[in-house]
Structure 1
Amino acid sequence: MTRRLVAVLVAVLLLAGCGVPADKQPRSVEPPFGPPAAPAASSAPGRVEQAFCLVRSGQLVRTVRQVDTAGGVDGHLRRLLAGPTRAERAVGFGTALPGAVHVLGARLVDGRAQVEVEPPGEESGRSDEVLAYGQIVCTLDSRPDVTGVSFLLRGRPLEVPRADGSLSAGPLTAADYPALTGPD
């Protein structure tokens, strides 16, 4: 019995000595891009946090907003389509959506967000469609109830650009846009 207790104490002391040494000063840690592992706790009573992918310096960057209710995929998408808030614009966030993708609505079907779009007019002159589609995919993919995002044009699957330039009918996730993702 005593021998076993000594062995356990020695093992505990050895394990306690292992690990990462403490830094002398605090350092910032960059979270990975993509959907959070679990919904974050809200800092304001009665509000929830919701992730949005916006554009800064030609890259997709995830930001979190406090909203009154999480709502469904269509409501989440409508908030993205409204563009960056004044505070987000002040720190350099923008959007590639106006003129690049005309969204009619979204719904959740068996875990997949289906986004109905209409083709942009000839006069749009936008060349950043990949960022626009990436914004939608990365925003909706941040939701715990979404396993992928697909796009429909007049009810039929639409192939949209991925970060590598290839076209895909989906389902797409934030992982399809790694070359375009920047730090949070």
Structure 2
Amino acid sequence: MTRRLLPALMSVLLAAGCGVPVEDRPRVIEVGTPSRVATGAPSAAASGPAAESLYLIRDGSLVAVQRRLAAEPDPQRLLGDLLAGPTEAEQDRGLSTALGGRDVVASVRLLDGVAYVELPAGIENTGRNDDVLAFGQIVCTLTSRRDVTGVVFTQQGARIGVPLPDASLSQDPLRAADYAALIANG
């Protein structure tokens, strides 16, 4: 009989010794409420093994910002992160965006190294004077990926001309070099 009691006693002692208290009823575990409401903008404390380069604006120039992520984002996620705007920490460093919000871009697809950015109808009539910076942010951000060699803008599937720093319009695939005059040094 002692042989049968010994394993049962050992099981009870091991369970009691693991630090988990024994309770008669299940208990509700309260999860703390977050101190801030999520805004869609990434956390300033985000970290991870992968990096994304976003181009934001400071004093009328494009500025590259590195963010760390758990995995390299695809072009749609990269553009989504750009459209979410600067984090609070980035804003504290004087960074902003010329992109007016999430409805600026309908979609992005990658085909043979070219990112095709579909814009919603009517976006060209914004009346904004910082359109060159807005397109520069998108082009420089997307071409920061190794697999994106150029960016073409479309509306309803047709290529549209977008402004360049020299006030011309281009329908050709654009690269960061096309906006080099706007990129801040350091």
- Same fold, judged at TM 0.5 (above): yes
Which residue type is aligned with residue 58 of structure 1? Answer: G
- The CA RMSD over aligned residues, in Å, is 1.9
Give the Å deviation of 1:47: 3.0
Q: Does 1:159 align with 2:164?
A: no
Give the Å deviation of 1:127: 1.1
- Conservation of the 8 A alpha-carbon contact between 2:132 and 2:163: yes
- Conservation of the 8 A alpha-carbon contact between 1:60 and 1:180: yes
Other-structure match for 2:133: 131
Higher RCO (C-alpha under 8 Å, 6+ residues apart): 1
Aligned counterpart for 1:87 among listed residues 86, 89, 100: 89
Aligned length: 139
Q: TM-score, normalised by structure 1?
A: 0.71
Cα separation, 1, equivalents of 2:149 and 2:160: 18
Aligned counterpart for 1:120 among listed residues 115, 120, 123: 123
Q: TM-score, normalised by structure 2?
A: 0.70
Give the Å deviation of 1:120: 2.5
Give the Å deviation of 1:183: 1.9
Between the aligned residues of both structures, percent identity stands at: 47
Larger Rg: 2
- Conservation of the 8 A alpha-carbon contact between 1:164 and 1:179: no
Give the Å deviation of 1:71: 2.4
Q: What stretches of structure 2 of length at least 5 have no aligned partner? A: 1-46
- Conservation of the 8 A alpha-carbon contact between 1:112 and 1:148: yes
- Conservation of the 8 A alpha-carbon contact between 1:151 and 1:158: yes
Cα separation, 2, equivalents of 1:104 and 1:71: 18
Q: What stretches of structure 1 of length at least 5 have no aligned partner? A: 1-43
